[in-house]
Amino acid sequence: MSTSLNSTAINSTNSAPYLTSDRTELAPLCNAQQDTRGLRIVISCLTVFTVLVSMALMTQLHRGDYQVVPHGSVVSDNGECSAAGVAVMKKGGSAVDAVISTLFCLSVVSPHLVGIGGGGYMLVYDQRKRSIVGCLDFQASLGNSNSSIGVPGFVAGLYQAHKSFGKLPWSSLLNAAIEMA
């Protein structure tokens, strides 16, 4: 009885029942004599294609034009002002353009928090260069005497940021604030 079991075992030299060229219900696509050259060619071509596409995408990322973000986001205290910033980016504006539009909108909606009577600071970071490319200080400037009054720098600072980093016309950035007023 043990000899008949050994003759059909997988480790035996007589493994013919397990390696047949017949397709069965249990193995409809596999057989022992299948030629795999075609499959190897397909896999090789797909591998080469994947590597080439990856290299092209990496080159585009590092050397291509700046991306226009169709689904960018802007966060502020007011949803309508955030939507105005997103609309500016969808028109092809830069992130600085979106900030300017959002801030002018907020100066209409929340003048006690943001307004033309104030100032601010702005850091501009370029992700391609992985460095800060601009730092603006547009706080209220004071004169030399103790009785001097601060001159607000909000509008002048945002205008300087627009001249340095903006893409869209200045007037188009104020449309949302004008409509809100």
Furthest-apart CA atoms within the chain: distance in Å: 114
Label residue 6 by pLDDT band (50, 70, 90). very low
Handedness of CA 161, 165, 171, 172 (dihedral sign): negative
Q: pTM for the full model? A: 0.60
Residue at 89 is within a domain: yes
Residue at 68 is within a domain: no
Unique residue bearing structure tokens 């050259």: 37
Q: Is residue 124 within 8 Å of residue 133, measured between CB atoms?
A: yes
pLDDT in tens, 27-67: 555 555 556 778 888 889 999 999 999 998 888 877 766 65
Helix axes 79-90, 95-109, angle to 10 degrees: 150
What is the distance between the alpha carbons of residues 181 and 173, in angstroms, rounded to a whole number?
Answer: 14
Residue at 32 is within a domain: no
Q: In the chain, pLDDT over 70 holds for what percent of residues?
A: 76
- Indicate the pairing of strand 131-137 with strand 121-126: antiparallel
Task: Give me the domain span that covers residue 87.
Answer: 79-180
Residue at 163 is within a domain: yes
Residue at 147 is within a domain: yes
Whether residue 150 has pLDDT greater than 70: yes
Helix (H, G, I), strand (E, B) or coil at 131: strand
Residue at 173 is within a domain: yes
Q: List Cβ neighbours of 107 (8 Å cut-off, separation of 6 or more).
A: 114, 115, 116, 154, 177
Residue at 37 is within a domain: no
How many domains does the chain contain in total?
1
Residue at 39 is within a domain: no
Strand locations in 41-179, DSSP E? Answer: 121-126, 131-137
